[in-house]
Amino acid sequence: MNLKNIASNIELKNGIWYQKTHSQISYPDEGNENCFQIEDNSFWFKHRNNCLLEIIKKFPFTGSFFDIGGGNGFVAQAIEKTGKNTVLVEPGEKGIRNAKKRNLKNLVCATLEGAEFKKGSIDAIGVFDVIEHIKEDEQFIKNLHAYLKQNGKLYLTVPAYQILWSREDDFAGHFRRYTIKTISQKLKKAGFKMEFSTYIFSILPLPIFLFRSLPSKLKLYKGHQINEHKEEHSKQNKILTKIWNWEVKRLSKGKKIPFGGSCLIVAKK
Protein backbone atom coordinates (compact mmCIF):
# COMPACT_ATOMS: atom_id res chain seq x y z
CA MET A 1 0.00 0.00 0.00
CA ASN A 2 1.58 3.28 -1.10
CA LEU A 3 0.55 5.68 1.64
CA LYS A 4 2.36 8.51 -0.10
CA ASN A 5 -0.64 8.69 -2.44
CA ILE A 6 -2.87 9.91 0.38
CA ALA A 7 -0.41 11.64 2.77
CA SER A 8 1.86 14.49 1.70
CA ASN A 9 4.06 14.98 4.78
CA ILE A 10 5.62 11.53 5.22
CA GLU A 11 8.77 9.85 3.94
CA LEU A 12 9.76 6.17 3.90
CA LYS A 13 12.77 5.06 5.96
CA ASN A 14 13.63 1.42 6.62
CA GLY A 15 10.09 0.24 5.95
CA ILE A 16 8.40 2.88 8.16
CA TRP A 17 6.71 6.07 7.00
CA TYR A 18 7.90 9.00 9.12
CA GLN A 19 6.36 12.42 9.54
CA LYS A 20 8.76 15.05 8.19
CA THR A 21 8.10 17.46 11.06
CA HIS A 22 7.69 16.79 14.79
CA SER A 23 4.32 17.01 16.61
CA GLN A 24 3.74 17.40 20.34
CA ILE A 25 1.55 14.74 22.00
CA SER A 26 0.11 14.37 25.52
CA TYR A 27 1.37 10.90 26.29
CA PRO A 28 4.20 9.80 28.60
CA ASP A 29 7.44 8.90 26.80
CA GLU A 30 7.56 5.47 28.43
CA GLY A 31 3.85 4.75 27.84
CA ASN A 32 4.15 2.54 24.76
CA GLU A 33 7.05 0.55 26.15
CA ASN A 34 5.21 -0.09 29.44
CA CYS A 35 2.14 -1.28 27.53
CA PHE A 36 4.22 -3.48 25.25
CA GLN A 37 5.47 -5.41 28.27
CA ILE A 38 1.96 -6.32 29.46
CA GLU A 39 -0.45 -6.22 26.49
CA ASP A 40 -0.27 -9.89 25.56
CA ASN A 41 -1.06 -11.02 29.13
CA SER A 42 -3.39 -8.25 30.23
CA PHE A 43 -7.09 -9.08 30.62
CA TRP A 44 -7.90 -5.41 29.92
CA PHE A 45 -6.15 -5.24 26.55
CA LYS A 46 -7.36 -8.70 25.52
CA HIS A 47 -10.97 -7.99 26.47
CA ARG A 48 -10.97 -4.63 24.73
CA ASN A 49 -9.73 -6.39 21.58
CA ASN A 50 -12.43 -9.05 21.85
CA CYS A 51 -15.10 -6.37 22.19
CA LEU A 52 -13.72 -4.38 19.26
CA LEU A 53 -13.52 -7.41 16.99
CA GLU A 54 -17.11 -8.34 17.82
CA ILE A 55 -18.32 -4.81 17.15
CA ILE A 56 -16.42 -4.61 13.85
CA LYS A 57 -18.02 -7.91 12.85
CA LYS A 58 -21.46 -6.57 13.79
CA PHE A 59 -20.90 -3.16 12.19
CA PRO A 60 -18.37 -3.87 9.41
CA PHE A 61 -16.37 -1.47 7.28
CA THR A 62 -15.10 -1.78 3.72
CA GLY A 63 -11.57 -1.04 2.54
CA SER A 64 -8.59 -0.37 4.83
CA PHE A 65 -8.62 0.27 8.56
CA PHE A 66 -6.48 3.09 10.00
CA ASP A 67 -5.65 2.64 13.69
CA ILE A 68 -4.85 6.20 14.81
CA GLY A 69 -2.65 6.54 17.88
CA GLY A 70 -2.53 2.76 17.99
CA GLY A 71 0.58 2.43 20.15
CA ASN A 72 2.37 -0.88 19.70
CA GLY A 73 -0.10 -2.25 17.17
CA PHE A 74 -1.89 -4.62 19.55
CA VAL A 75 -5.32 -3.73 18.14
CA ALA A 76 -4.12 -3.37 14.53
CA GLN A 77 -2.54 -6.82 14.67
CA ALA A 78 -5.80 -8.38 15.92
CA ILE A 79 -7.80 -6.69 13.16
CA GLU A 80 -5.27 -7.66 10.51
CA LYS A 81 -5.52 -11.30 11.59
CA THR A 82 -9.20 -11.22 10.56
CA GLY A 83 -8.07 -10.58 6.98
CA LYS A 84 -8.49 -6.79 6.97
CA ASN A 85 -5.83 -4.46 5.61
CA THR A 86 -4.63 -2.20 8.44
CA VAL A 87 -2.51 0.92 8.72
CA LEU A 88 -1.03 1.92 12.08
CA VAL A 89 -0.59 5.66 12.59
CA GLU A 90 1.35 6.27 15.82
CA PRO A 91 3.47 9.33 16.68
CA GLY A 92 5.64 7.50 19.24
CA GLU A 93 8.69 5.92 17.62
CA LYS A 94 8.97 3.25 20.33
CA GLY A 95 5.40 2.21 19.60
CA ILE A 96 6.05 2.00 15.86
CA ARG A 97 9.18 -0.09 16.38
CA ASN A 98 7.28 -2.44 18.69
CA ALA A 99 4.55 -2.73 16.04
CA LYS A 100 7.22 -3.69 13.52
CA LYS A 101 8.22 -6.53 15.86
CA ARG A 102 4.61 -7.69 15.53
CA ASN A 103 5.18 -7.88 11.76
CA LEU A 104 2.73 -5.12 10.88
CA LYS A 105 3.56 -3.77 7.44
CA ASN A 106 1.80 -0.41 7.03
CA LEU A 107 3.42 1.75 9.70
CA VAL A 108 3.24 5.54 9.91
CA CYS A 109 5.18 7.31 12.67
CA ALA A 110 3.12 10.51 12.74
CA THR A 111 0.04 12.20 14.11
CA LEU A 112 -3.07 12.12 11.95
CA GLU A 113 -2.81 15.83 11.18
CA GLY A 114 0.99 15.82 10.92
CA ALA A 115 1.02 13.19 8.18
CA GLU A 116 -1.24 15.51 6.16
CA PHE A 117 -3.61 12.86 4.86
CA LYS A 118 -5.91 13.96 2.08
CA LYS A 119 -9.42 14.85 3.17
CA GLY A 120 -11.96 12.16 2.35
CA SER A 121 -9.28 9.51 1.71
CA ILE A 122 -9.69 7.00 4.57
CA ASP A 123 -12.18 4.11 4.63
CA ALA A 124 -12.34 3.42 8.36
CA ILE A 125 -10.68 4.88 11.45
CA GLY A 126 -10.13 3.47 14.92
CA VAL A 127 -9.15 5.67 17.87
CA PHE A 128 -8.88 3.51 20.95
CA ASP A 129 -8.21 5.38 24.20
CA VAL A 130 -6.75 8.27 22.23
CA ILE A 131 -9.25 11.16 22.30
CA GLU A 132 -8.83 11.70 26.05
CA HIS A 133 -5.20 12.64 25.29
CA ILE A 134 -6.25 15.41 22.90
CA LYS A 135 -6.75 18.84 24.50
CA GLU A 136 -8.91 20.15 21.65
CA ASP A 137 -11.00 17.00 21.34
CA GLU A 138 -13.82 18.57 19.33
CA GLN A 139 -11.44 19.82 16.67
CA PHE A 140 -9.77 16.41 16.54
CA ILE A 141 -13.15 14.72 16.04
CA LYS A 142 -13.94 17.18 13.24
CA ASN A 143 -10.63 16.22 11.63
CA LEU A 144 -11.52 12.53 11.84
CA HIS A 145 -14.79 13.30 10.07
CA ALA A 146 -12.96 15.25 7.36
CA TYR A 147 -10.39 12.52 6.65
CA LEU A 148 -13.01 9.78 6.30
CA LYS A 149 -14.62 8.92 2.99
CA GLN A 150 -18.38 9.40 2.71
CA ASN A 151 -20.07 6.55 4.66
CA GLY A 152 -16.70 5.78 6.29
CA LYS A 153 -16.80 4.25 9.77
CA LEU A 154 -15.32 5.50 13.03
CA TYR A 155 -14.72 3.12 15.94
CA LEU A 156 -13.57 4.51 19.27
CA THR A 157 -13.12 3.86 22.94
CA VAL A 158 -12.60 6.40 25.73
CA PRO A 159 -12.40 6.11 29.54
CA ALA A 160 -15.75 6.60 31.26
CA TYR A 161 -17.08 8.90 33.98
CA GLN A 162 -15.35 12.04 35.19
CA ILE A 163 -16.11 10.94 38.75
CA LEU A 164 -13.51 8.21 38.23
CA TRP A 165 -10.78 10.79 37.61
CA SER A 166 -7.62 10.14 39.61
CA ARG A 167 -3.90 10.85 39.54
CA GLU A 168 -3.63 7.88 37.18
CA ASP A 169 -5.35 10.06 34.58
CA ASP A 170 -2.83 12.81 35.23
CA PHE A 171 0.07 10.38 34.84
CA ALA A 172 -1.42 9.07 31.58
CA GLY A 173 -1.75 12.53 30.05
CA HIS A 174 -5.55 12.56 29.99
CA PHE A 175 -7.53 15.79 29.67
CA ARG A 176 -10.94 14.33 30.51
CA ARG A 177 -13.15 11.25 30.84
CA TYR A 178 -16.50 10.81 29.08
CA THR A 179 -19.97 9.35 29.24
CA ILE A 180 -21.82 7.89 26.26
CA LYS A 181 -23.87 11.10 26.19
CA THR A 182 -20.94 13.53 26.20
CA ILE A 183 -18.86 11.74 23.56
CA SER A 184 -21.96 11.17 21.39
CA GLN A 185 -22.79 14.89 21.52
CA LYS A 186 -19.30 15.78 20.29
CA LEU A 187 -19.52 13.23 17.48
CA LYS A 188 -22.92 14.47 16.32
CA LYS A 189 -21.68 18.07 16.47
CA ALA A 190 -18.86 17.09 14.09
CA GLY A 191 -21.36 15.59 11.63
CA PHE A 192 -21.23 11.89 12.56
CA LYS A 193 -24.26 9.63 12.67
CA MET A 194 -24.31 7.24 15.63
CA GLU A 195 -24.55 3.54 14.78
CA PHE A 196 -23.91 1.93 18.15
CA SER A 197 -22.83 2.95 21.65
CA THR A 198 -22.20 0.97 24.80
CA TYR A 199 -20.09 0.74 27.92
CA ILE A 200 -17.63 -2.10 28.46
CA PHE A 201 -15.68 -3.34 31.51
CA SER A 202 -18.89 -3.36 33.51
CA ILE A 203 -17.37 -4.31 36.87
CA LEU A 204 -14.51 -1.80 36.91
CA PRO A 205 -16.13 1.52 37.95
CA LEU A 206 -16.67 0.60 41.62
CA PRO A 207 -13.16 -0.71 42.37
CA ILE A 208 -11.59 2.14 40.39
CA PHE A 209 -13.59 4.66 42.41
CA LEU A 210 -12.85 3.05 45.78
CA PHE A 211 -9.19 2.22 45.31
CA ARG A 212 -8.00 4.89 42.91
CA SER A 213 -10.33 7.88 42.54
CA LEU A 214 -11.35 8.27 46.19
CA PRO A 215 -7.78 8.05 47.56
CA SER A 216 -6.79 10.66 44.98
CA LYS A 217 -9.62 12.99 45.98
CA LEU A 218 -8.76 12.58 49.69
CA LYS A 219 -5.03 13.00 48.99
CA LEU A 220 -4.39 9.53 50.40
CA TYR A 221 -2.79 8.41 47.16
CA LYS A 222 0.35 6.30 47.57
CA GLY A 223 1.36 5.20 44.11
CA HIS A 224 -0.74 3.13 41.73
CA GLN A 225 -3.63 1.85 43.83
CA ILE A 226 -5.24 -0.33 41.18
CA ASN A 227 -4.03 -1.35 37.75
CA GLU A 228 -6.79 -2.70 35.51
CA HIS A 229 -4.20 -3.59 32.86
CA LYS A 230 -2.35 -6.22 34.84
CA GLU A 231 -2.60 -9.98 34.50
CA GLU A 232 -4.97 -11.53 37.01
CA HIS A 233 -4.51 -14.60 39.19
CA SER A 234 -6.23 -17.86 38.24
CA LYS A 235 -9.24 -17.49 40.58
CA GLN A 236 -9.80 -13.92 39.46
CA ASN A 237 -9.38 -15.00 35.87
CA LYS A 238 -12.21 -17.53 36.12
CA ILE A 239 -14.62 -14.92 37.46
CA LEU A 240 -13.52 -12.25 35.04
CA THR A 241 -13.67 -14.62 32.08
CA LYS A 242 -17.36 -15.29 32.77
CA ILE A 243 -18.09 -11.56 32.98
CA TRP A 244 -16.08 -10.73 29.85
CA ASN A 245 -17.71 -13.56 27.92
CA TRP A 246 -21.11 -12.20 28.94
CA GLU A 247 -20.15 -8.75 27.64
CA VAL A 248 -18.83 -10.09 24.32
CA LYS A 249 -21.97 -12.20 23.88
CA ARG A 250 -24.18 -9.14 24.39
CA LEU A 251 -22.16 -7.15 21.88
CA SER A 252 -22.39 -9.97 19.34
CA LYS A 253 -26.18 -9.56 19.50
CA GLY A 254 -25.99 -5.78 19.19
CA LYS A 255 -27.09 -5.32 22.81
CA LYS A 256 -25.73 -2.55 24.99
CA ILE A 257 -24.04 -2.75 28.38
CA PRO A 258 -25.52 -0.03 30.64
CA PHE A 259 -22.37 0.99 32.53
CA GLY A 260 -18.65 0.29 32.61
CA GLY A 261 -15.15 1.69 32.79
CA SER A 262 -14.97 2.53 29.08
CA CYS A 263 -17.28 3.82 26.35
CA LEU A 264 -17.28 2.06 22.97
CA ILE A 265 -18.79 3.84 19.95
CA VAL A 266 -19.40 3.17 16.27
CA ALA A 267 -20.24 6.20 14.14
CA LYS A 268 -20.59 6.87 10.43
CA LYS A 269 -19.83 9.84 8.20
Whether the pLDDT of residue 1 is over 80: the answer is no
How sure is the predictor about 234, in pLDDT bands with cuts at 50, 70 and 90? low
Return the pLDDT at 102. Answer: 96
Return the pLDDT at 28. Answer: 58
Whether the pLDDT of residue 258 is over 90: the answer is yes
Return the pLDDT at 222. Answer: 58
Please state which of the ranges 38-52, 79-93, 189-203, 228-242 shows the lowest mean pLDDT.
Answer: 228-242
Whether the pLDDT of residue 156 is over 60: the answer is yes
Higher pLDDT pick, 30 / 4: 4
Mean pLDDT of the chain: 91
**What number is the average pLDDT over the span 136-142?**
97
Whether the pLDDT of residue 212 is over 80: the answer is yes
How sure is the predictor about 221, in pLDDT bands with cuts at 50, 70 and 90? low
**What number is the average pLDDT over the span 154-165?**
97
What number of CA atoms fall less than 13 Å from residue 211's CA on the CB side?
Answer: 10
Residue 77 and residue 102 in contact, taking contact as beta carbons nearer than 8 Å: yes
Whether the pLDDT of residue 232 is over 80: the answer is no
Return the pLDDT at 227. Answer: 54
Return the pLDDT at 225. Answer: 47
Residue 107 and residue 137 in contact, taking contact as beta carbons nearer than 8 Å: no
Residues 19-72 have pLDDT tens digits of 997 666 656 557 677 777 878 888 899 999 999 999 999 999 999 999 999 999
DSSP notation for the chain = --GGGTBSSEEEETTEEEESS----SS-TTHHHHHHHHGGG-HHHHHHHHHHHHHHHHS---S-EEEET-TTSHHHHHHHTTT--EEEE-S-HHHHHHHHHTT---EEES-TTTTTBPTT-EEEEEEES-GGG-SSHHHHHHHHHHHEEEEEEEEEEEEB-GGG--HHHHHHT----B-HHHHHHHHHHTT-EEEEEEEE-TTSHHHHIIIIIHHHHTT---S----TTSPPPHHHHHHHHHHHHHHHHHHHTT---S--SEEEEEEE-
Provide the residue ranges of all domains of the chain, joining segments of one domain with +. Answer: 3-268
Judged on CB neighbours under 10 Å (0-12, 13-18, 19+), 181 is exposed
Residues 99-136 have pLDDT tens digits of 999 999 999 999 999 999 999 999 999 999 999 999 99
Whether the pLDDT of residue 230 is over 70: the answer is no
Judged on CB neighbours under 10 Å (0-12, 13-18, 19+), 57 is exposed
**Taking the model in full, what pTM does it have?**
0.92
**CB-based contacts of 249: which residues, under 8 Å, 6+ apart?**
none
Closest of 55, 72, 266, 59 to residue 156, by C-alpha: 266
Question: What top-level class would CATH report for the domain 3-268?
Answer: alpha beta
**Distance (Å, rounded) from C-alpha 263 to C-alpha 80?**
23
Return the pLDDT at 224. Answer: 46
**What number is the average pLDDT over the span 73-102?**
96
Higher pLDDT pick, 91 / 222: 91
